[in-house]
């Protein structure tokens, strides 16, 4: 974890591959999980209002590619990040762009983080364009686990509009915006309370900006 003196940003970077095999690093009883919890306790939010986390595979992605692949990691760690008020989470892995509304456990929550997937900066596999909520787009649950990310943890939803299903029937309410275009992003922290992620989509020559507040409720 990086926390510079008098800095307004604390950045947390987490691993993912192999963390759920024999090492169990990110399980609640794991040493790395406990280390992260101790470090989060040390962040003085009056000095460091922005708490940002990043790791490779997204927890919240509505694309068919890698759909709910990191669910084991989310199940183990989401409550910890939520309880310490993480503001923004950046991910890659899915070769497209998607930004969530503030969300916790697949439900809109003003205290949850905003999740931003920025995997649209160039790749050999082309862009991810299909969504799990497209007609006929929901993948077979047994095809989604990744052995390096904990195996199978993505069961059917138990509440909300998708209760009893593995996928939503339309774009989920927690998904604010998604686009399959080549592009890149810049995060500008304007003050201790305001930030503005800017994303440029080269294929359409457009820019997309949204403004976030630290600890927004």
Burial (0-12, 13-18, 19+ Cβ within 10 Å), 159: exposed
What is the dihedral sign for C-alpha 135, 136, 141, 147?
A: negative
| Residues forming a β-bridge with 185 | 199
CA 100 to CA 102: how far, in whole Å?
A: 6
Catalytic pick from 56, 66, 93, 95? 66
Cα 122 to the center of its chain, rounded Å: 19
Residue 184 annotated as catalytic: no
Burial (0-12, 13-18, 19+ Cβ within 10 Å), 108: middle
**Whether 130 contacts 63, CB under 8 Å:** yes
Non-local (6+) Cβ contacts of 116 within 8 A are 88, 89, 90, 91, 98, 99, 100, 185, 197
Q: Which positions are catalytic?
A: 66
């Amino acid at each position: 974890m990086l926390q510079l003196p008098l800095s307004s940003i604390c950045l947390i970077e987490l691993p993912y591959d192999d963390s759920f095999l024999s090492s169990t690093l990110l399980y609640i009883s794991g040493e790395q999980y406990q280390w992260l919890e101790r470090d989060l306790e040390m962040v003085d939010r009056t000095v460091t209002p922005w708490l940002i986390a990043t790791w490779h595979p997204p927890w919240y992605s509505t694309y068919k590619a890698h759909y709910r692949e990191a669910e084991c990691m989310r199940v183990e760690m989401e409550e910890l990040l939520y309880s310490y008020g993480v503001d923004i989470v950046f991910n890659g892995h899915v070769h497209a762009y998607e930004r969530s509304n503030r969300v916790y456990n697949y439900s809109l929550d003003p205290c949850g983080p905003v999740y931003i997937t920025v995997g649209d900066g160039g790749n050999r596999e082309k862009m991810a364009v299909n969504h799990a909520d497209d007609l006929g787009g929901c993948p077979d649950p047994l095809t989604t686990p990744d052995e390096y990310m904990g195996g199978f943890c993505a069961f059917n939803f138990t509440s909300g509009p998708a209760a009893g299903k593995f996928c939503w029937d339309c774009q989920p309410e927690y998904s604010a915006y998604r686009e399959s275009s080549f592009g890149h992003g810049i995060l500008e922290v304007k003050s201790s309370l305001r930030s503005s992620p800017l994303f440029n989509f080269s294929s359409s020559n457009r820019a997309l900006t949204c403004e976030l507040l630290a600890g927004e409720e």
